[in-house]
Amino acid sequence: MKHKRTQSGFSFIEILVSVLIMSVGLLGLGGLQIAGVKGSNNAHYRTTAAMLAQNLGDRMRSNREAVKKGYYEKAVACSTTPLICRKSGTECSTQELAKFDIYEIKCGVSVDSRPREGGVQNLLPNGNMAVTCKNKCAVTDKRREMEIKISWNEQQLDKDESPDETLEREMKVLIIP
């Protein structure tokens, strides 16, 4: 008497194929997650740069005399601390206020002996900032056109590039105080 063998369940090859297909799908989802995080970080950097440029532009509009005299174009080193002008009871000249504004936006602020927080150099990777005259300091309607340039590095989103490669980005904002 011969017994006929009937198949019950899955074969080993079918299980291996299904595991392989699931692995490829999960790797694809992991790649999408990494690209999403990089894109989110890069968008955060752009937003931060725009807010810092807007903040400096507002400060320049409130100190028009310093803009006219070109005080905002002078570079400020983060290793030195200027006179704190926005403190209650402190009186500063327009030049000192311009130097403080540039310092605070570029380098951040230090509160109660804590490390500096905020600023282009602390919030953006390899961040830098410069303020220059636009069109060789052409005066239009008794106003100087100023340009705030903030630059930083972003992570590449292209899959053909090395994951450690970065791309330098910059944001330019035109200010007419």
Q: Token pair of 93, please?
A: 């000249």
Exposed e or buried b per residue across 150-164, where buried means at least 16 C-beta atoms within 10 angstroms of its C-beta: bbbbbbbeeeeeeee
Helix H or strand E encompassing 171: strand 166-175
Per the prediction, the chain carries an average pLDDT of 81
Q: Return the CA Rg of the chain.
A: 28
Q: What is the pLDDT of residues 3-39, one digit of tens each?
A: 677 766 678 888 999 999 999 999 999 999 988 998 8
Q: Which helix (H) or strand (E) holds 43?
A: helix 12-62
Residue among 103, 155, 147 at smallest CA distance from 126: 155
**Global model pTM greater than 0.85:** no
As a whole number of angstroms, the distance between CA 75 and CA 68 comes to 16
Query: Model confidence over 120-166: pLDDT tens digits?
Result: 888 988 888 888 887 666 555 566 778 888 888 887 666 565 555 56
Between the alpha carbon of residue 28 and those of residues 5, 25, 35, 162, 165, the distances in Å are 40, 5, 11, 18, 21
